[in-house]
Structure 1
Amino acid sequence: MARPVWAGNLSFGLVSLPVGLYTATGSHTIHFHQLQRGTSDRIRNRRVNERTGDEVQLDDIVKGFDTGDEYVLVEPKELDEIAPGRSRSLEIAGFVDLAEVDPIFFDKTYYLGPKSADFGKVYSLLEQALAKAGKAGIATFVMRQHEYLVALKSENGLLTLHTLHWADEIRDPKKEIDTLPGKAKASAKELTMAEQLIGAMSMDWDPERFHDTFQEKVAALIEAKKTGESVEKAEPPAEPTGVVDLMEALRASIERAGSPKATSGKATASGRATASSGKTPPAKKRIHSTPKEDLTGLTKADLYKKAAAANLPGRSHMSRDDLVKALTSART
């Protein structure tokens, strides 16, 4: 089991609950080492004194704030001593409607769990109450020498903690983007067609439909370079749509997606038309391979490519053995 990245007391009113904070997300990004071109020599980063050129050990490094004329040195221990909430508490200041928190404020998500089963009742009470009220608890707490503004939510039977950006961290888009359209208005016909296109492309939210295709291509590229094979290059990006071509682009897009008037319904998450369209749903993709193929002898990269071709959900998180089992199951 994972270890909590933070532990302390969650309190609301006079109720206190010992909790642990757990990382909710992971990354499947393929990581590369830096090498000197033409060699297999690793390039490593070192902490070097810019005056002497000597490497400095981590224990000999302190934080320094540049005032212009001098550096004010601060030891890590001093930051811990003045940190607000150093008693490791997460105290809810109040509860707000979820709809009131603009999505731009949300940053990172954590799972929150009770310290032990003894506190399950208090944990469940808060989770159920938040779910029924449709509200989020707002609090601040300190983790790793940083203070965070957070929102505590109920999601699928557990408590989640979402770090939020501070108000002064949200940038004004009008100051950041000088190409905003301002008072430019679309015609009524253009707006109607755009709404029709949105309707034709509407679907149910299914995150398993989407996967990191770029990482799959990176894995395929690595495997191809190992075997000396060539890799198919991606198609060039589409040309920008000009104002003159806007209506024709909208009309063609609606025809391709399936006009709501023609289908009398929306497309589902799997790309099927509703029953009223009269169209037969496409068959689910299967793996077509010879019965004699031994999947256990393939590399993980080869297995992953087959899983991608079969559109197996959750493949990015599977181990090599998991891929073999899933592919074998899909073939039977």
Structure 2
Amino acid sequence: MAPRAVWRGTIKFADFQCDVGLYTAISSSEKISFNIINRKTGNRVERQYLDSETGDKVERDQQVKGYELENGDHIVIEGDELSELMPDGNKVIRVKNFLECDEIDKLYFDKPYYLSPSTDEDREALSLLAQTLRERQVAALAEAILFRRNRMLLIRLDGDAVIATTLNYDYEVRSQTAAFKSIPDIEFDDEMLELAAHIIKKRAGKFDPSHYSDRYNDALTELVQAKIEGKTIKKREPEKRDNVIDLKEALRQSAGVSDKKAAKPKSSGTTKRKKAS
């Protein structure tokens, strides 16, 4: 079955415009999902909205958004009031500017979507945009109303595909200085730094997503299949973790160095260096 666009609209900047469809680049169809059922009857459980005071069921046409005040009362916000906040932005991806591809911190990346032209005429226009982005080595920063939210988008190339990635806003990204303690500035001797570098070199590789699997989802699939067939699955034992007493000795073991003297660097430089900042 051909994928369906989750959103359709127009890319615009200056006099350029191109009708496109947005296709989700992330799929959850292969993941195991569950329904909530009644243990006694085996029937599915339905989710209902109930009035918190009366306990009565609230029908869909009576459900409305409300902003809670300090005294517990709510201000009602109607759907048309929300849609009228930015009426001119509906179904339009407006390119704000162009910037270098690596200028945006990946911490701000949210969800990726494939951009596809709507017609043959749009195919030519989108191809022109893609080739220009490739030649200039830039990405387009754009704004659009997506799924009832004002979103910023980064439009870039990934191979031959045009990707539009929604971006988190600054207020949505937690400050690392506020959330985490900084890495301590510790001095390590040359041997420890050389051992750590040796381990990294031994395990150097390239990212290939086909080499990795979702072990939890695989285990869920195995569990469900076993339930269907009436089998039991042997309980998995947790991995044992060795008690590391000496960090340097742990590095030696990981690097495969048994002779302490062999692990020492041959240079006669300084014996201690600060970690890279």
Give the TM-score normalised by structure 2: 0.84
Q: Which amino acid letter does the alignment assign opposite residue 8 of structure 1?
A: G
Structure-2 change in CA distance of 1:207 and 1:80 (3 Å): same
> Is the 1:131–1:155 Cα contact (8 Å) retained in structure 2?
no
Superposed, which structure 2 residues align to 1:110-125 within 5 Å? Answer: 110-125=113-128
Deviations 1:274-317, CA, capped at 9 Å, x for gaps: xxxxxxxxxxxxxxxxxxxxxxxxxxxxxxxxxxxxxxxxxxxx
Matched, 1:57 2:62: no
Residue 15 of structure 1: aligned partner: 16
CA distance in 1, matches of 2:234, 2:256: 29
How far did residue 225 of structure 1 move? 2.8
Q: Supply the AA of the counterpart residue of 1:106.
A: F
Q: What residue is the counterpart of 1:160 in the other structure? A: 163
Select 2:200's aligned residue among 195, 198, 201.
Answer: 198
Higher relative contact order structure (alpha carbons within 8 Å, sequence separation ≥ 6)? 2
Q: Report Cα offsets for 1:17-56 as digits up to 9, x if no partner.
A: 1111111110122111223445524333211111221211
1:64, distance to aligned residue in structure 2 (A): 0.6
The match for 2:264 is none
Change (3 A) 1:38 1:249: farther
Q: How does 1:224-303 map to 2 (within 5 A)?
A: 224-239=226-241, 242=244, 244-255=245-256
2:118 aligned with 1:94, yes or no?
no
Question: Cα distance 1:238–1:245, how it changes in 2: closer, same or farther (>3 A)?
Answer: farther
* Residue-by-residue CA offset, 1:220-252 (whole Å, 9 max, x unaligned): 11222333433233332343764x422222222
Distance 1:26 1:75 in 2: 32
Letter matched to residue 163 of structure 2 = T
Distance 1:238 1:147, change over 3 A: farther
Contact kept in structure 2, 1:140 and 1:147, CA below 8 Å? yes
CA contact (8 A) 1:241 1:249 kept: no
Alignment correspondent of 2:270: none
Could you tell me which runs of 5 or more consecutive residues in structure 2 were left unpaired when the two chains were aligned: 258-277
Percentage of identical aligned residues: 28
Name the stretch that deviates more: 25-34 or 227-236: 227-236
Distance 1:45 1:185 in 2: 57
CA displacement at 1:121 relative to structure 2: 1.3
- The DSSP-based 3-state class of the residue aligned with 1:193 is helix
Quick one: distance in 1 between partners of 2:242 and 2:170?
35
Of residues 66, 69, 72 in structure 1, which corresponds to 2:68?
66
Q: Which has the higher strand share?
A: 2
Matched pairs, number: 254
Letter in 1 for 2:207: W
Matched ranges for 1:303-318 at <5 A: none
1:186 CA displacement: 3.4
Distance in structure 1 (CA, Å) of the matches to 2:46 and 2:191: 59
Q: Give 1:166's aligned amino acid.
A: Y
Structure 1 stretches lacking a partner, 5+ long: 257-332
